[in-house]
């Protein structure tokens, strides 16, 4: 296949994955320049464009390249006219919808967000904020692991608030892009414009704020911007992969500011939520996904919704390209490169390995016995299920014979503390993890 053919196919795959408007804005204007040593060079209209693609579509593009060529390939975006203005030029007919102007994806709405136990609180807080800007939780701080819906939710706030008030002055920006803009403003001596742009907003949606780690200048800027916005009664929403207090090098005053409103987390989705997300996505793609296949994928891809979606896109591509029937085997083929080759260890294996290490029967881990050794083994199991498998508190409780999620939370905190305080314990813990990941044969449960 020539470079042009590959890129045309890649764009076809991306068309299914990316919202039509975003596709038109960001992907349609790209042109392939050539392929050198496994790297596809792609011409794009500006530096800003290159940054945007890099930060928002890189994973999608790499995934599409792999789908088309069957190989791991890299991609490099080559801006065509040096440094451009910090706003995308009208290289395509500007789409009539307001969203792109605000950098919002139109598909990220509350309607398309599936709610389950894992994300209910964050969802409820986000809706409440969208309906009562500046009047309820301000700031709202949403945190959670990769691919769990933070960007979806923060943009849904923007889309909903805009629908209520089309004249709203809002800005959605990943912290990374804000940083690039700040650097540019410093270089070009336009810092004042930069300040004014952000300080005149009614709603600031700042995504992935953990990016601020080690960037003192940006922290300072955000601190003052945030103060100014709050004084003016404007709403600010942040997302991060961890709570404010766990962002290292974040200045104390910023930590207390960030945590001064409402801090909510998003947990990894439960099985029902994962199945519902798959079925919804399939429906959006007008693909008839049998529930049994959805369940199979959901049981294999547990902790990242982005990977869950990628699995479905792959399944659709495989099914339509090869004509093979939709079976569990085909679903396995679709997900094989997306999940860890051996998969994360099964919960059952974690129980078995921990029971072995503590010399207690597996059944005791699921029981109520509070003997010190058994209780500790149970707590370590909970901790590993969380840390290594990214399981939800509820699912962990279920694996251990129906324990309450607060018990699980307490156990995780306790083991975390023990690991830092007690070296001997930590060494034992690490041996357990090693054994778990060595693929050592799973001892039969006793």
Region near ligand ADP per CB under 6 A, out of 144-152, 167-175, 284-292, 355-363: 144-152
Q: Does 350 bind ligand ADP (CB under 6 A)?
A: no
Q: Does 151 bind ligand ADP (CB under 6 A)?
A: yes
Q: Does 274 bind ligand ADP (CB under 6 A)?
A: no
Q: How many CB atoms lie within 10 A of CB 151?
A: 20
Q: Name the binder of 305 from ligand ADP, Mg ion, none, CB < 5-8 A by kind.
A: ligand ADP
Nearest residue to the partner ligand ADP, using Cβ = 149
Which listed residue (175, 180, 205, 277) binds ligand ADP by CB under 6 A?
277
Q: Which residue in the block uniquely carries the two structure tokens 């301000």? A: 138
Taking phi first (over 0 means left), then psi (-120 to 50 degrees means alpha), and beta for anything else, what does residue 377 get? alpha
Q: Does 52 bind ligand ADP (CB under 6 A)?
A: no
Q: Name the binder of 277 from ligand ADP, Mg ion, none, CB < 5-8 A by kind.
A: ligand ADP
What is d(CA 145, CA 117) in angstroms, rounded to the nearest whole number? Answer: 16
Binding to ligand ADP (CB under 6 A): which residues in 106-135?
A: 112-114, 119
What is d(CA 49, CA 61) in angstroms, rounded to the nearest whole number? Answer: 14
What is d(CA 285, CA 288) in angstroms, rounded to the nearest whole number? Answer: 9
Bridge partners, 39 (sequence order): 36, 74
CB 318 within 8 A of CB 333: yes
Binding to ligand ADP (CB under 6 A): which residues in 280-319?
A: 305-306, 309
Residue 6 or 277: the one with the smaller Cβ distance to ligand ADP is 277
Q: Does 119 bind Mg ion (CB under 5 A)?
A: no
Provide the Cα torsion 411, 417, 422, 426; round to 10°: 70
Residue 75 or 148: the one with the smaller Cβ distance to ligand ADP is 148
Report which secondary-structure segment, H or E, holds 126. Answer: helix 120-131
Q: Which residue in the block uniquely carries the two structure tokens 């399939």? A: 282
Q: Does 146 bind ligand ADP (CB under 6 A)?
A: yes
Q: Name the binder of 426 from Mg ion, ligand ADP, none, CB < 5-8 A by kind.
A: none
Q: Comparing C-alpha atoms, which of 11, 74, 73, 66 is closest to residue 318?
A: 66
What is d(CA 256, CA 250) in angstroms, rounded to the nearest whole number? Answer: 10
Residue 150 or 394: the one with the smaller Cβ distance to Mg ion is 150
Going from the C-alpha of 417 to that of each of 173, 262, 383, 411, 420, the distances in angstroms are 36, 25, 11, 10, 5
Count of residues engaged in binding ligand ADP, rule: CB under 6 A: 16
Q: How far is the CB of 67 from ligand ADP (least distance, A)?
A: 17
Q: Does 155 bind Mg ion (CB under 5 A)?
A: no
Count of residues engaged in binding Mg ion, rule: CB under 5 A: 2
Which listed residue (30, 99, 100, 151) binds Mg ion by CB under 5 A?
151
**What residues contact residue 225 under an 8 Å CB cut-off, 6+ apart?**
195, 198, 199, 204
Bridge partners, 163 (sequence order): none
In three-state secondary structure terms, 79 is: strand
Region near ligand ADP per CB under 6 A, out of 6-14, 51-59, 148-156, 354-362: 148-156
In three-state secondary structure terms, 73 is: coil
Q: How far is the CB of 207 from Mg ion (least distance, A)?
A: 6
Q: How far is the CB of 7 from ligand ADP (least distance, A)?
A: 23
Q: Does 174 bind ligand ADP (CB under 6 A)?
A: no
Bridge partners, 266 (sequence order): 144
Q: Does 201 bind ligand ADP (CB under 6 A)?
A: no
Applying CB under 6 A, the residues found at the interface with ligand ADP are 112-114, 119, 144, 146-152, 277, 305-306, 309
């Amino acid at each position: 296949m020539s470079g042009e053919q590959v890129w045309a196919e890649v764009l076809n795959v991306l068309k299914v994955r990316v919202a039509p408007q975003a596709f038109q804005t960001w992907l349609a204007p790209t042109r392939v320049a050539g392929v050198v040593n496994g790297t596809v060079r792609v011409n794009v209209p500006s530096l800003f464009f290159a940054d945007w693609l890099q930060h928002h579509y890189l994973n999608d593009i790499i995934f599409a390249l792999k789908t088309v060529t069957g190989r791991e390939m890299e991609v490099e975006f080559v801006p065509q006219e040096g440094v451009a203005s910090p706003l995308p030029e009208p290289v395509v007919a500007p789409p009539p919808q307001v969203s792109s102007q605000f950098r919002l994806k139109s598909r990220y709405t509350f309607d398309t967000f599936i709610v389950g136990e894992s994300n209910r609180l964050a969802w409820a807080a986000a809706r409440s904020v969208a309906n009562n800007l500046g009047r309820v939780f301000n700031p709202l701080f949403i945190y959670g692991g990769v691919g769990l819906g933070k960007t979806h939710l923060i943009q849904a706030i923007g889309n909903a608030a805009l629908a209520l008030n089309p004249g709203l002055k809002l800005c959605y920006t990943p912290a990374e892009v804000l940083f690039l803009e700040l650097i540019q403003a410093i270089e070009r001596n336009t810092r004042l414009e930069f300040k004014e742009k952000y300080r005149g907003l009614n709603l600031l949606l700042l995504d992935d704020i953990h990016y601020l780690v080690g960037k003192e200048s940006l922290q300072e800027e955000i601190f003052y911007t945030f103060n100014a916005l709050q004084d003016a009664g404007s709403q600010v929403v942040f997302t991060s992969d961890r709570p404010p207090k766990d962002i290292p090098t974040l200045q104390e005053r910023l930590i207390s500011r960030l945590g001064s409103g409402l801090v909510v987390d998003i947990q990894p989705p439960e099985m029902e939520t994962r199945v519902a997300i798959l079925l919804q996505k399939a429906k959006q793609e007008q693909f008839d996904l049998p529930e049994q296949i959805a369940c199979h994928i959901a049981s294999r891809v547990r902790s990242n919704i982005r990977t869950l979606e990628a699995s479905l896109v792959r399944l659709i591509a495989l099914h339509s390209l090869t004509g093979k029937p939709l079976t569990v085997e085909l679903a396995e083929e679709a997900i094989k490169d997306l999940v860890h080759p051996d998969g994360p260890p099964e919960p059952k294996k974690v129980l078995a390995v921990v029971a072995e290490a503590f010399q207690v029967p597996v059944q005791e881990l699921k029981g109520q016995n509070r003997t010190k050794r058994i209780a500790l083994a149970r707590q370590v199991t909970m901790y590993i299920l969380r840390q290594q498998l990214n399981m939800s508190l509820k699912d962990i409780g279920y694996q251990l014979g129906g324990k309450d999620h607060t018990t699980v939370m307490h156990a995780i905190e306790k083991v975390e503390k023990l690991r830092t305080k007690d070296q001997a314990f930590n060494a034992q813990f690490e041996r357990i993890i090693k054994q778990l990941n060595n693929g050592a044969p799973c001892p039969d449960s006793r």
